[in-house]
Amino acid sequence: MQTDFFPAPRSEPTPSWAEILGRESTARRPVPIPSVAGRRILVTGAGGFIGAELVWTCVASGASQIVLLEIAEQALFSIDREMTARGCGDQCVPILGSVCDRALLAALFEEYRPEIVIHAAALKHVPLMEHNPFAAVETNSVGTWLLARIAQEHRVRRMILISTDKAVAPHSIMGASKRIAELAMLAHGGFTALRLVNVIGSPGSVAPLFADQIAQGGPITVTHPAARRFFITLDEVVALVAEAMAADSAQGVLVPDPGEPVLIADLARRMIASGDVRIVFTEQRPGDKLEESLISSRERYTVDSSASLRCVSSPAVADLDAQMHALQAAIAARDLPLLLRIVEALVPDYEPSVVLRDAVLALTATTPVAFK
């Protein structure tokens, strides 16, 4: 019988994700997060790929209580059952709900008084969000802003947003919505946005898709021969969260050093262990870029940046609350032209995809809309 709280290794391909990236493969055991020991923690998106790993790690690191906030019933059921099976169900409080529900958030903070918030809840699939812009902005932008406001009102010691490099000069509404989430962190002193890159192996991402295509005999579909991405492993994510939590001065936007970007076609080739599996190049999807960046042209690394986790000087927005209220009104009215105007004002380097441009033009056929 397993007696500790550490999760058993998740199933990985042979070779492991780390080996596929050309990095040293180590036995899977979570990196402890000493700063959560004895603390009350709120993890949003607690049933997700990153959220569940952080829940397990917080339990193993001695957190006194963890509130598991998750909007997906099955994901919440799974993580709650896992915690109960490992004998630590009493430490966890499963809550089914959304970060967009202000009344729920207020009630959670009143009853459970979390001292640390790890905000991993997000809508993340780029092409899907191009067809669901209201959901993307409501969950990723408005939800983060509401959570940050309530956390600050309740004097939370530390809040960390799990952000993404897709927030840098975004071509997708998902990326733009996550940049607005970063702005919410910048507007609340002492809070942190941890800007991660692609986490290899996460459900719905490119590597598991390739694994499925290889298992079916191919072909592997790659959007473009020049497409490349930065990658990190799930273990590296936990280590970065631990580092961000440990650094008292770590606030604002933090960016890891993920190494060199990997050509997606090369990743596919590494995953083809044997056999005759073809690689077929398709086309870029709406919202995609050939290559992501770690910081924008409007940002710079600060002088005290370290090698593993660098602080970024990133422009904030002075009237964010007013803009967020305007976003809420646009979402409530399902007003796409207004929504995009506000998003473009908040994220000046956002370039809407052809999908959203066409959708706006169809809605405003008699009144031409000027895009940047």
Residue with tokens 């002075």: 318
Q: Do you find a cis peptide bond into 219, omega within 30 degrees of 0?
A: yes
Task: Please report which helix (H) or strand (E) contains residue 130, including its range.
Answer: helix 126-130
Tokens coding 245:
């939590």
Could you tell me how far CA 287 lies from the centroid of its own chain? 16
- Residues 80 and 250: their CA atoms lie apart, in Å, by 31
| Among candidate residues 289, 287, 269, 286, the one with its CA nearest the CA of residue 278 | 269
The number of beta carbons lying within 10 Å of the beta carbon of residue 92 is 24
What distance separates the 2 farthest-apart alpha carbons in the chain? 69
- Residues 341 and 357: their CA atoms lie apart, in Å, by 12
Tokens coding 19:
């080996």
Q: Is 124 annotated as catalytic?
A: no
Residue with tokens 């993890």: 43
Task: Please report which helix (H) or strand (E) contains residue 209, including its range.
Answer: helix 206-215
Catalytic residue (one of 124, 166, 178, 289):
166
Question: What Rg do the C-alpha atoms of the chain give, in angstroms?
Answer: 20
Tokens coding 90:
């009493």
Q: Do you find a cis peptide bond into 133, omega within 30 degrees of 0?
A: no
Q: Tell me the catalytic residues.
A: 166
